[in-house]
Amino acid sequence: MTGHRTSDDAVPATGHASAVGHAPAVGHAPAAGGGAVVPEDAAGFPRGLDDMQRLWTPHRMVYIGGENKPKDTTAGSCPFCAAAGDADDERYLVVARGRSCLVILNLYPYNPGHLMVVPHRHVSDYVELTPAETVELAELTQTAIRVLTDVYRPAGFNLGMNQGEVAGAGIAAHLHQHVVPRWLGDANFLPVVARTKAVPELLGDTRARLAAAWPSAAARRLRSRSAEPTSPTPEDLA
């Protein structure tokens, strides 16, 4: 019989054949005369026997294990509140700050440049926002789209909020709006089959690029005023 068996002949040894007529598993070859198994060089394997490519993402074990998930729903355990109360933008991956909201990178991005617009206050529902918070959240979302378009040239965007754990919110106690750049072909087999997303840029580098491209508050106000509708003149109504 081709291959080898364990001493009690009950369980196939790792990398060996388990039935009559089966060839040894890829990676081993029986030595002459039935002696010890000699490992083969994987570089010489035909593509048909092992054509899989491996993408190792050990950093995602933090997410899988829930290491950074808040312990409870209080502001003291909330990472968004921590970012809002600390001026260290690099540590918290903050791209920009407004009067009542901030723009922060998603620690586990779906795509490069995945941002979140977050109110400073620890509120969970959209209807709890004040009028000023609602306006600034919308304005920062628009600015985020403009900056991401300039820096990354995506083909489109996903915008949205998940309210409540049942709706998919990872941190349900603190409202946040996602701004996700999209490219053709970015929804390939990795996220669908393996629940893994390959992100080609370090988060710190992404934050630095977007922060450098983010317009000043004065520039945003000027753009906002220039976009305001004007009252028609008598000539317009003539």
Q: What is the DSSP string of 102-143?
A: EEEE-SS-SSTT-EEEEESS----GGGS-HHHHHHHHHHHHH
Question: DSSP code of 168?
Answer: T
Q: Are 109 and 203 in contact (CB under 8 A)?
A: yes
- CA-based torsion, 129, 133, 139, 143: positive or negative: negative
Would you name the residues annotated as active-site residues? Answer: 176
Question: DSSP code of 193?
Answer: I
Reduced to 3 states (helix: H, G, I; strand: E, B; else coil), residue 224 is helix
